[in-house]
Amino acid sequence: MNVDGKPFRTVWWENDRVRMIDQPRLPHEFRIVDMASHRDTAVAIRDMTVRGAGAIGATGALGLAQAAVEAPDGSFFEYVAAAANLLRGTRPTAQNLFAGIDYVLKAIEAEGSDVARARAAAVAAGNAFADDDAASCRRIGELGAPLLAERPRVNTHCNAGWLAFVDWGSALSPIYVARRGGLDVSVWVDETRPRQQGSQLTAWELGQEGVPHQVIADNATGHYMAHGQIDITIVGSDRIAANGDVANKIGTYSSALAAAANGIPFYVAAPTTTIAMHTPTGADIPIEERSEDEVLYVWGWSDDGRFIRVRTAPRTSKGRNPAFDVTPAALIAGIITERGIVPATPEGIASVARR
């Protein structure tokens, strides 16, 4: 996708380093940062320098490839196993992270005890996983774009665009494909408290692609639905359970309820690496709780050019900060994957899940 007309991916491998867009600096500063070791890469996932299901999946895969490059010959497999555990522990909810790590581990294991071949296989697998994420998201766009022909006024929550994946994105990919195909689409962008991924990231992406959009407060979505100004909602997902329940950014469930009350189709877009067949229902999805500071403070740019934190709540107040919620399958019109649009049912999920 484009930044000032120049193509970029969200995360990529270069000279044994993982390079990525520094997402907390957006939309006010575009900066590329380098992760010199797998430990640095793990920190980048944990502190959300890189975020989004597909992007952290690819970052986890590339981080494990880094560990394979770093590992001493004499303790190669022990070093890699420890690195895999470190990377797995960075974020608990997004299934893509575990899929990426497991993909590289399998490539390493396939080479047996040959350390040199295992190193090369790890790097190849990390890059292949990232490429697959980009290709899957492009296909999601191609399959999802026809949904917008009769419903061009789209609502989305959080950021499920190319910044959340390696390229193209999931929920925004149908919008990009439709727009490049000449369809006059527009987007209602939920701000997505507390980290503002909608107003900071989704709005920035849409602007780079020239897509008309308006940022709205999270609790204004139902208002615009009730007044007939939203035709369809498409969101992303961090984990899809085997029964079709979906975990996504906190506030998604509220949007789904508002959509159901107003007869608006509510779609989820995600590559099949997001499906967790070992997770029976949404009740089994671990929900990450992040620091209360994200609720009690905001970050932004001051008029004199400083990136600063400001407290917005009383000093005596405490906060709670679940990062995700679960939308029941019954509220979902369909799940847009690279293998087709399927119902949010056990049968539908099983028909596209990776084996």
pLDDT, residue 299, reads: 87
Contact 176, 211 (CB under 8 A): yes
Q: Is the pLDDT of residue 220 over 90?
A: yes
Question: Could you give all domains of the chain from N- to C-terminal order, each with its CATH number?
Answer: 2-138 (1.20.120.420), 146-352 (3.40.50.10470)
Q: Is the pLDDT of residue 56 over 90?
A: yes
pLDDT, residue 223, reads: 98
Q: If you average pLDDT over residues 293-299, what whole number do you get?
A: 95
| Mutual angle of helices 115-144 and 53-70, in 10-degree steps | 170
Q: Is the pLDDT of residue 300 over 90?
A: no
Strands (DSSP E) contained in 195-314 are 213-216, 232-235, 239-241, 246-249, 266-269, 275-276, 297-301, 307-311
State yes or no: is 238 an active-site residue: yes
The end-to-end CA distance of the chain, in Å, is 30
Q: Is the pLDDT of residue 5 over 80?
A: yes
- Structure confidence by residue, pLDDT tens digits, 28-46: 899 999 999 999 999 999 9
Residue 305's pLDDT band (boundaries 50, 70, 90)? confident
Residues 218, 251: Cα–Cα separation, whole Å: 8
Q: If you average pLDDT over residues 171-195, what whole number do you get?
A: 97
pLDDT, residue 307, reads: 86
Given the residues 190, 238, 245, 325, the one annotated as active site: 238
pLDDT, residue 301, reads: 83
Q: Is the pLDDT of residue 135 over 80?
A: yes
User: Is residue 34 within a helix (H) or strand (E), and if so which, with residue range?
Assistant: strand 32-35
Query: What sign does the CA torsion over 198, 1, 269, 236 have?
Result: negative
- Is the pTM higher than 0.85? The answer reads yes
Residues 287, 92: Cα–Cα separation, whole Å: 7
Residues 106, 121: Cα–Cα separation, whole Å: 9
pLDDT, residue 118, reads: 98
- Structure confidence by residue, pLDDT tens digits, 86-117: 999 999 999 999 999 999 999 999 999 999 99
pLDDT, residue 355, reads: 77
pLDDT, residue 120, reads: 98
pLDDT, residue 181, reads: 96
